Structures are given as C-alpha cells and as structure tokens.
Structure 1
Amino acid sequence: MSLYEHFRRDEHPFIDQVTDWLGTVENEYRTKLTDFLDPRQQLIVTSLTGQGSSVRCAFLGGTDKAERRRALLYPDYIEPEKELFELAAFELDFPSKFVRLTHPQVLGALLSLGLKRGKFGDILISSDAIQFLTCQDTADYVEQHFREAGSAPVLPKRIDLSKLRFPEEESADIQVTVSSLRLDTVISELYRLSRAKTKPLIQQEKVKVNWKITDDPSFRLEAGDMISVRGMGRCKVVEIGGTTRKGNTVLKAEKIGSQS
C-alpha cells in the first residue's frame, strides 16, 4: 500500500519529509524534534510512525489543550521528557486599557520578524492577557525584536509553561444537507452565506482548510477537514453521511469558537 494513498497530493512533500525524519531516527539512533505542527500534520506524523519501525512519536505544545504542538520522534528505548521539546512561553505587556489586539494582528507581527509559522505555537488571547509559545532556539530573537503589533507597542516577557491559560472554546454540532462537497457549497451551508458571497471569500484567501489557505472554490472536502473563515470561526467536518431522496449529501459538522 502506498504511503500517499490516504492523503491529498499537496500533502505528499510533507509525507516525504516525515519519512526522512523517521529514517534519521531509525538509522542514527537519535531523536528528531520538529517545529510546531498543526493538527493535520500531527495526524500525518502519527499515521506514519510505528509502521514496521522502532520509532515512536510524542507531541507537546504547552498543555494537553494545545492545538499546535512540536513532535518528538525517538527510538523506542528513550523516555520522552518534557524538556526535550524545547518550548518557550511569553506573555505580552502592552497598553491593554487602550488597545485591543487580535489573533491575526499578533500572528502577523510575529511573522514580520522573518520567522516561519512553524516557530510559533498557539497564540492565546483572553480578556486580560495575550500569551504565545515559540521554539527555544528562536526565543531570544523574539524577546529582543518583537516590539509592535497592530501599531501598538508590545514587550514580550517570558513565563513558565505552567502559567499558560488556554481559553475554553464554545462548540456546537451542526447538520446540513449539501448538493456537493465543494468548498464553496459547504461553506455556504455551514455559515449561512449566499454562494455569491462565499466564492469571493475563498478567492480573496480568507478561507483555510486544515490550516492552509485554500483559494479554489471547487476544492473537495473530506471527513476530518477543518474549515476556517476569517472572522467567522471554524467548522470541523465530522461525518459525511448518506444521500437524501433529492441526491443531496448529509454532512455533520462541529462549529468551534471564532478564532481563525
């Protein structure tokens, strides 16, 4: 059975990368620590680990509630200690009485430092604090150079991982019927938008599928996919059921929070 059989074509390069990581651990008898991975990437790593090899994997992103996590690939005789994940956590000091910072503003400011998305974990925004995680090898750089977000002055201060506060996200189950599994069709039903509004959102790169911008309205969704529409929250495709008498497809989803 091909490694690629159950994954989309655009995921094949990442599968090749994971295969190389596994080979390094198995042949050189040492650990491999990745940057932060999104949940879809974590699923791929888990799927490819342990298939006829002695390599194991563990994930950590601050707490058990973390979405983005680093993966540690290791020989089966090693015990994966928390310190091996090399995480650093920060809390932002900024004029919170006068400025409200959003998730996109903080992420955009961090990426403007010239670092890849994989160097950052979850960005946690609550009513009275903004926290985020980085890899230890970039923490000093972030601490020295991160000074502005959304035109507001900011100062990152290191905190212990135990101080992280992951906000609870509200969720609701949704069931809709769709004429097809095209991205524009499904978004139209899940978010109750007209097709005329849905297609421009996708083409303007305001939609992500599995944490990647997807600008093709005809993109075909599958069970397990996470959809994010900027400013409108996220929906996870939980189950693709049977068809109705009119030939439509029953789709079950979970709407989660409002962060995109």
Structure 2
Amino acid sequence: MEIYQHFRKEEHPFIDQVLAWRDDVEMRYQRKLTDFLNPREQLILQTIMGNNPDLVYGFSGGAEGAERKRAIIAPEYEIIEQDDFQLTLLEATYADKFITLEHRDVLGAFMSLGVKREKLGDLVVQDGVVHIVAGAEISDFIKMNLTGIKKANVDFIEKPMAELMESKETWSTKETTVSSLRLDVLTKEIYGMSRKKARMHVEAGHVKVNHRVVEDTSFLLEEGDLISLKGKGRSRLEEVRGQTKKDKFRVTTSTLN
C-alpha cells in the first residue's frame, strides 16, 4: 500500500493498527477511542485518515498545547465532545523544600506500578505539585496504589481539567542548515558537540527518538520527531524547509529550556 512508503519500517505496525481502527469504525459504525499518542503517532493517524468523507476524528490531551493526546475516530454523523476523550487530571503535592522530584522520578514511579506509558498524557512537576493527565479508566488504580515517589509520600486526587498547570518549561527555536538528516548530524547540531561525540552518544544508547532508543547513527529524522539525549534534555525537528544549492538541508529545530 502506498501509505507505507511515506513512513519508516518500524512504524508499519502502528500504521496497521490505525488502518484496523479505521476499517473497524467504518464497518461497525462504532467510534474508537485510542490510548495516548505521541506527536509522531498523531501525524501518522492524521495522514491515514486524510479527508475520509465517512469518518471524523479528533485529538485531546486536556490542554491546548498538550504533547501527548488521545484520538477518537467516529462515523461522520457523530459529534466529538471533549468529555468523550475520558481524561482525568490527577494532582499530588509534596514538600519541595525538602525533596526534589523531577519528571523522570514521577514517570518512573508510574512505570514501577505497571502503568503503561500509553495510558498517561502530559506530566507537569513544579512548585511542589505533580499534575498528570491519565485515562479515566486507570485513575482509580493510580489513586489507590501510587502513594510514594522517591522519599515523598503522595496522595493523588482528581481535579478539574481547567486547573491543569501550565508548564514553566519553554522551547527555544533555531533555524540552521545541516549536511544531512542523520541522527548523529542533528544531535551534533542541536546539542552543540562534535560529530564524533554525537556518534558515541547514539551508539551508547543515550539517544531516544519518539521515546525509543535508537543506536543507529545513520537513522534519518523526519519532521515532528522528538529527540532526547540523556542528561541534556529534549528537542524536536520542527520543519525541513528544503535544500540549499549545495544540497544542505534547511531545518527548524526546537530545544526544551
């Protein structure tokens, strides 16, 4: 099928999943609510759905600028409402004067409970407060079972989605040219290091693309890819704006401050 030509081989299983969702909704006339999708998965779903006249679809992660979102695919005559995404905002507080918690600490606590990342949306940790957007189907499990993160005792309670904290993290954007879209080249450019050092980080498993470790230095990045380097934070390839006369790529990248 032509759709596969536009995406990486390792993304084909997710493409198959989206195609199955689409076909099932068309056949059964019953909507499909997905787990949380990362930006790349959202792009794939949008591409596959296209302008299908028989179906409608939408995304929500609880806030306008949410990174991770659930999707709904429905027959074209249905109206998708915000409540249909079945999102719950959970809040816990801790004494940040005595304990320091980071994003990875909180996410690790969820993973240790056996909660799949796909059931969790965006996570904000700041000023002694933890906010997590979760699928409503697992909110009771979290409230009952997640009572500690590192040395902090926590008690998660449900809050109105309108109270979701806006993260103080900001993204800085940069326009530049690169010789290729290889992972080692973009890692070098984004994080300001030699290409040799970038290759070492990739080969050592320190670099993730869309939350998956990639150890292939020649891995080609595409628009929307989220990159993270251990100890150096997250970045994103926002746009590929064509090539120069010398065959270099004009790109826009952003880095989380």
Verify same fold: TM over 0.5.
yes
Q: Does 1:106 align with 2:129?
A: no
- Once the two structures are TM-superposed, the CA of residue 214 in structure 1 deviates from its matched residue by 1.6
> Equivalents in 1 of 2:46, 2:178: separation in Å?
31
The answer to whether 1:241 aligns with 2:242 is: yes
Kindly, what percent of the aligned residue pairs are identical?
37
How far does residue 143 in structure 1 lie from its aligned partner after superposition? 0.7
Asked if the contact 2:190/2:255 (under 8 Å) is kept, the reply is: no
Q: Cα gap change, 1:176/1:52 in structure 2, threshold over 3 Å: closer, same or farther?
A: closer
Deviates more, 1:226-235 or 1:42-51: 226-235
C-alpha displacement at 1:234, in angstroms?
2.8
Q: Which residue of 2 aligns with 1:6?
A: 6
Q: Which moved more, 1:168-177 or 1:218-227?
A: 168-177
Unaligned runs of at least 5 residues, structure 2: none
Instruction: Verify: 1:256 aligned to 2:255, yes or no.
Output: yes
Q: Residue 179 of structure 1 aligns with which residue?
A: 179
**Are 2:179 and 2:249, in contact at CA under 8 Å, matched by a contact in 1?**
no
C-alpha change, 1:204 and 1:145, in structure 2 (3 Å) is farther
2:253 counterpart letter in structure 1: E
Separation in 1, partners of 2:252, 2:17: 31
Instruction: Give the distance between the partners of 1:154 and 1:85, measured in 2 at CA.
Output: 26
Instruction: Name the residue aligned to 1:191.
Output: 191
Shift of residue 190, structure 1, vs aligned partner: 1.7
Structure 1 residues 233 and 25: alpha-carbon distance in aligned structure 2, compared to 1, 3 A threshold: same
Aligned residues: 256
Per-residue CA shift, 1:13-38, capped at 9, x if unaligned?
00100111111111111111011111
Seen in structure 2, the aligned counterparts of structure 1 residues 3 and 152 have a Cα distance that, compared at 3 Å, is same
Determine if contact 1:54/1:76 at 8 Å carries over to the other structure.
yes
Report the alpha carbon displacement of residue 118 of structure 1 after superposing the two structures with TM. Answer: 0.3
Superposed CA RMSD in Å reads 2.0
Q: Is the 8 A contact 1:55 1:76 kept in 2?
A: yes
Q: Distance in 2 between matches of 1:2 and 1:103?
A: 39
- Residue 6 of structure 1, CA deviation: 0.8
Which moved further from structure 2: 152-161 or 168-177?
168-177
CA distance in 2, matches of 1:182, 1:210: 15
